[in-house]
Structure 1
Amino acid sequence: MATLQVRRVRPDHPDPLPLPRYETAQAAGMDLRADIDGERTLRPLERLAVPTGLAIALPPGYEGQVRPRSGLALKHGITLLNSPGTIDADYRGEVHAVLVNLSQEPFTLRRGDRVAQLVVAPVTVAEIQEVAVLDATPRGEGGFGSTGR
């Protein structure tokens, strides 16, 4: 098990938000909440970097993946750009969720709304080896739907 250190960016806020936690025993991600005051309305196709009020320290060899919440996507057309967003183990700034409204309706965001989920995952560091020719595979250079529907 990896230890995730969490620092509240605005520790003196009069309405502190709960820290991220796994909602079920088998959950892969922890909810991140909007650390905003009042409300903010996202118009159709508008995007916004929503602060979470948290800075984190991941252990070496791990990354944080900021991912969309399926309920927001299905019910409201709200998803994340740059998804999944990667938090490197050496980053210490505030975590944001870059939301976009892909629906035709405005969406109102309120303080404490769950806007994204954070998945902590191990990272494999690859050694780069330059070669003149890559090994052949049946797929070859086929991409962008070349394997069928």
Structure 2
Amino acid sequence: MSQLQLNVKYLREDAREPVYGSDYAAGMDVFSAVDESIPPRTRKLIGTGISVSWKGCDAEHYYLRVAPRSGLAAKSWVDVGAGVVDYDYRGEVFVLLVNNHNENTFEVKKGDKIAQLIMEKINRPIIGIVTEHTETKRGSGGFGSTDVPNIPSP
């Protein structure tokens, strides 16, 4: 199996290539290519100034997950919303930043680390329609049903 290669294209002058923060980091840090203000309790798409593609053995069986940076969340109350970069996407990589603070505006500056890209393998199952599922001990017990008593009903 050949090593996957991530190809990065700069779309803006201030763009930076993703970098691993350590030798064993799972994710590559990505950087803001823009200055933006995110008011309290709001969210904003932040451009990275890059587009990506990848090649190698079974490259089409991988995607990039846009993941939060734990330090950003801990220090600033800023989180990363859901994000996926599919194999066939060639546009700019954006990061949805969510300012969870009640009072403070979050300032994003060009060059700030704003998220991580984590390459993950996918398995696309075929979809089968059924009228019944096999019985299990758990059944339809959901959120916390295996260890939390008295979950309130919606």
TM superposition score normalised by structure 2: 0.85
Match of 2:45 in 1: 49
Match of 1:125 in 2: 124
CA distance in 2, matches of 1:62, 1:87: 9
CA distance in 1, matches of 2:39, 2:20: 31
Deviation at 1:135, TM superposition (A): 1.5
Give 5+ residue unaligned stretches, structure 1: none
Contact kept? 2:8, 2:51, Cα under 8 Å: yes
AA aligned opposite 1:9:
L
CA distance in 2, matches of 1:8, 1:96: 13
Match of 1:100 in 2: 98
Match of 1:146 in 2: 145
What pairs up with 1:80-119 in 2 under 5 angstroms? Answer: 80-82=80-82, 85-104=83-102, 105-119=104-118
Deviation at 1:18, TM superposition (A): 3.1
Contact kept? 2:15, 2:48, Cα under 8 Å: no
CA distance in 2, matches of 1:18, 1:5: 13
Match of 2:151 in 1: none
CA distance in 2, matches of 1:96, 1:17: 12
Contact kept? 2:61, 2:122, Cα under 8 Å: yes
AA aligned opposite 1:35:
A
> Is 1:8 equivalent to 2:4 in the alignment?
no
Give 5+ residue unaligned stretches, structure 2: 149-154
What's the secondary structure of 2:123's corresponding residue? coil
> Is 1:75 equivalent to 2:75 in the alignment?
yes
CA distance in 2, matches of 1:67, 1:93: 18
Number of aligned residues: 141
Percent identity reads 36
Provide Cα deviations, 1:40-70, integer angstroms capped at 9, x if missing partner.
2211112110000110113311101001111
Aligned structure 1 segments of 4 or more residues deviating by more than 3 angstroms: none
CA distance in 1, matches of 2:143, 2:15: 42
Backbone CA RMSD of aligned residues: 1.3
Deviation at 1:106, TM superposition (A): 1.5
